[in-house]
């Protein structure tokens, strides 16, 4: 595939279904990802999987920090 085709045919997903990802599927995807090559075998990633109340708390914190960052960019934050 050439670059032009890749640019024209790529797709981004910005809306996700609320259904949880089955544990078996998540485990399989993460296992496959473990085998992906990294530059000079640096393996520059860390993965954390959360669910339930901990996921909800993390989601709320991330959204709040994102909103604060956007307000700072716009100069409308009253921190």
Number of folded domains that form the chain: 1
Q: Is residue 23 part of a domain?
A: no
Q: What is the pLDDT of residues 13-49, one digit of tens each?
A: 778 888 989 999 999 999 998 888 888 888 888 889 9
C-alpha to C-alpha distance for 4 and 13, rounded to whole angstroms: 20
Q: What is the pLDDT of residues 2-13, one digit of tens each?
A: 899 988 998 887
Q: Is residue 68 part of a domain?
A: yes
Residue partners of 26: CB distance under 8 A and separation at least 6: 49
Reduce the secondary structure of 24-76 to three states and give it as a string: HHHHHHHHHHHCCCCHHHCCCCCCCCCCHHHHHHHHHHHHHHHHHHHHHHHCC
Structure tokens at 23: 């544990």
- pTM flag (> 0.75): no
**In which domain, by residue range, is 58 found?**
47-72
């Amino acid at each position: 595939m050439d670059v032009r085709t890749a640019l024209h045919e790529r797709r981004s997903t910005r809306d996700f279904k609320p259904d949880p990802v089955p544990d078996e599927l998540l485990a399989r995807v993460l296992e496959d990802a473990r085998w992906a090559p990294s530059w000079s075998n640096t393996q520059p990633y860390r993965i954390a999987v959360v669910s339930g109340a901990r996921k909800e708390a993390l989601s709320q914190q991330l959204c709040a920090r994102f909103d604060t960052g956007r307000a700072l960019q716009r100069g409308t934050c009253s921190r």
